[in-house]
Amino acid sequence: MTDSSSKPTTPAGESAAFIFDKMHRVIKRRMPTLELIHERFARTARLALYNMVRRSVEVDVMMPELKPYAAFVGAFPERTNINLVNIRPLRGVGCWIIDPQVVYITIDNMFGGEGKLPPKITTKEYTAIELRIIRRLIDSLLAEYEKAWKPVHEIKFDFLRQETSFQFARITDNEEMVLHCSFTVTINGRKGAVDLCIPFWVLEPIKSLLFSQMQAFQPDEDTSWGENLRAEVQSANVQLVAVLAKKEGTLGEVLSFNVGDLLPIELQDPINVMVDGLPMIKGAYGVRNGRYAVKISEIEHPIEFSNRPVERGVMSPSFRKRIEAAATSDNFLDRD
């Protein structure tokens, strides 16, 4: 929810409420590539589940939806079967939710029943045998889902753990958008649901694949996101330290210092200006308008430090402290 008393604006001058409303309209559009992936998954999962229960199986695909995580969690009972999975190479965690009806129908058919009696859905804890069957079921679904994604993008799902409450299976914040994919599994005439939830920010690197046919969406959304990110990065605070001089000595000399002693030093030329520990700027020391200043003569991009085999841009904390201690408090930058 957005507080109406303070309406942040984007660099283009659009209100945050307008941006969220615009995003709400965009996410109602179809995702053609994801629909094809799910149709392929439904075909292969049907055969995998048939080999598991030896009964007729049908898998129907529902239209994928994007919704707030709080709305997704609110649609499920307080206790349910939640299977957390790690998503590689995307950095994030998703969850598969197996409807108790699917669990008990599968168990009934695997142990000789016909699955025609309505299952007794209770809030009791699953037994060890039931948990093993659920794990076997989820492993089969994960394998087929990975195969369905392979022609589009290589994605792996690593099983993490099972939970029975969303209190211990939180995968993102309540206000974050998540991708909700629902599948209806029919085993020997009895239906149940299997749900997949993935935070939408996890899919950000490959969202162009999901909306590949939505040409009007892709450039507009990426431009807005990039401008907001650029504005936030440029407003970040950094510390600048101009190193006028450095002097080496022995520990014995330091212990012999007394108040009032003079330390002869020589000014560096050029002077290094540290930006959060990186020697990015070189300049000349001087005075301007009655104040000490550094005139910038050279600026080096941070990426050049990481490419050097010996000198690295990130300095150790002890070395940074020595540099900051050598700088005087009244030094500052003045771009001429």
Domain boundaries, the chain: 30-213, 240-254+264-326
Please give the CATH number for the structural domain made up of 30-213: 3.40.1550.10
Could you tell me what percentage of the chain is helix, strand and coil, using 3-state DSSP and rounding each to the nearest 5? 35, 25, 40
pLDDT tens for each residue of the chain, 336 residues long = 434 444 344 444 444 444 444 444 445 567 888 889 999 999 999 999 998 888 889 999 998 888 999 999 999 887 888 999 999 988 889 999 998 888 888 888 888 776 665 555 555 778 888 889 999 999 999 999 999 999 889 999 999 999 988 888 889 999 999 999 999 999 888 888 999 999 999 998 888 888 775 433 344 445 666 777 788 888 888 888 888 877 788 888 888 888 888 888 777 778 888 887 777 888 888 888 888 888 888 887 766 655 554 444 445 555 455 545 544 444 444 444
* pTM metric for this prediction: 0.56
Q: Give CA 99 to chain center in angstroms.
A: 27
Please give the pLDDT value at position 122.
58
Q: pLDDT, tens digit, for every residue of 118-151? A: 555 555 778 888 889 999 999 999 999 999 999 8
Q: What is the pLDDT of residues 166-196, one digit of tens each?
A: 888 889 999 999 999 999 999 888 888 999 9
Cβ-based neighbour number of residue 68 at 10 Å: 16
Distance of CA 329 to the CA centre of its chain: 40
Structure token pair of residue 51: 């080999």
**pLDDT of amino acid 304:** 62
Write out pLDDT tens, residues 53-80: 888 899 999 988 889 999 999 998 878 8
DSSP characters over 203-256: TGGGHHHHTTT-TTHHHHHHHHHHHHHHHHHHT----EEEE-------HHHHHT
